[in-house]
Amino acid sequence: MATISVDQKACIRCGACVDVCNIARVFELDEGGSVAVRPEACWNCGQCVAVCPTDAIDHDGFPLEDCPMIGEKDIPSIEELTTAYRARRSCRTFEEKPVPREILRELVSLARWAPTAQNSQSFDWVAFDDSARINELSTMTVGELGRFVRLARNPLAVPFVRLIAGRGVAKELRKAKPLVDGLAEKLAQGQDPVFYHAPVVLIGHSPAANNFGRDDAIFAAYNLMLAADHFGLGTCQIGFFQIVYEKSRRLQRKTALPDGRKAQVVLALGYARHSFRRALPRRSPNLSWNPR
């Protein structure tokens, strides 16, 4: 349980902590100021400490020395934000140049500022920066997809595949033979059709029981992708690997994630061989109001 106290001398009874904690309802205002009446309900989001205008709240999870002030100059302008969003591109061509682990550590560290459901912060990463291991993963991905396709095309196995994967997936798999043949051909030519010879593959993972693990992962991954641009690094989400991975015990064993963890997002990362000169237009999303 969190240990929370409010310095009544410093508290100005503004009620901000009561307001921001309106779900857990840890705080109540009394004559003297705010009081942490239900610390057992705290889910450690830290918003009370972040909002208090007089630093009156002492929360053992958020010592003030770990909570720097946010100044106006720390908020990026809308132009800066837009440029960062628009300049990011998926990278599929990488230089044969290792990425310093120090930079990877920094990227992972920056990614943590993304939100997580109930502030669980239970999201972690596994990095592969050994080209032999990455090649092995690529080769296995294509091999496993090939195995699934062969199964789906085997008349004896069709009912079984339909049962396990569902009718739609079984049908897609039957049609995927040309795709698999093409990928196998690329592998045979020394290409990497899965990770594009990226020097680093990052797998973001969270506890398998976390219902919002995928959501947490996507926010963190996007933070990381935007930050990677700053270091001249290109990134690409590799959903293809993930689709095969989710069905393949062999691939799952190969990545050796810690027990009870589920891969939620997979990124290829490295120094981009080409820099993009232009931002591209995007479809303007529909926005409807109060539909019935």
- Among the residue ranges 108-116, 124-132, 143-151, 232-240, the one whose residues contact ligand FMN (CB under 6 A): 232-240
Min. distance of Cβ 249 from ligand FMN in angstroms? 21
Min. distance of Cβ 202 from ligand FMN in angstroms? 14
Sole binder of ligand FMN in the list 44, 90, 93, 118 (CB under 6 A): 90
Closest alpha carbon to 271 in 109, 100, 125, 132 = 100
Tell whether residue 237 is a contact of ligand FMN (CB under 6 A): yes
Q: What is the 3-state secondary structure (H, E, C) of 185-210?
A: HHHHCCCCCCCCCCCEEEEEEEECCC
- Among the residue ranges 157-165, 182-190, 198-206, 236-244, the one whose residues contact ligand FMN (CB under 6 A): 236-244
- Among the residue ranges 15-23, 89-97, 172-180, 256-264, the one whose residues contact ligand FMN (CB under 6 A): 89-97
In this structure, what token pair is assigned to residue 3? 């240990």
The residue number with the shortest CB distance to ligand FMN is: 239
CA distance 254 to 130: 13
Sole binder of ligand FMN in the list 240, 252, 254, 273 (CB under 6 A): 240
- C-alpha distances in angstroms, 292 versus 30, 87, 285, 286, 287? 43, 37, 19, 16, 14
Sole binder of ligand FMN in the list 59, 89, 197, 205 (CB under 6 A): 89
CA distance 123 to 258: 12
Min. distance of Cβ 1 from ligand FMN in angstroms? 38
In this structure, what token pair is assigned to residue 59? 């929360």
Tell whether residue 93 is a contact of ligand FMN (CB under 6 A): no
CA distance 214 to 191: 30
Q: Would you say 36 or 107 has its CB closer to ligand FMN?
A: 107
Handedness of CA 218, 224, 225, 226 (dihedral sign): positive
Q: Would you say 177 or 214 has its CB closer to ligand FMN?
A: 214
Angle at 103 between CA 91 and CA 119, to 5 degrees: 90
Min. distance of Cβ 101 from ligand FMN in angstroms? 25
Sole binder of ligand FMN in the list 26, 27, 34, 92 (CB under 6 A): 92
Residue length, the chain?
292
- Among the residue ranges 19-27, 138-146, 208-216, 237-245, the one whose residues contact ligand FMN (CB under 6 A): 237-245
Angle at 267 between CA 284 and CA 129, to 5 degrees: 155
- By CB under 6 A, name the binding residues for ligand FMN: 89-90, 92, 236-240
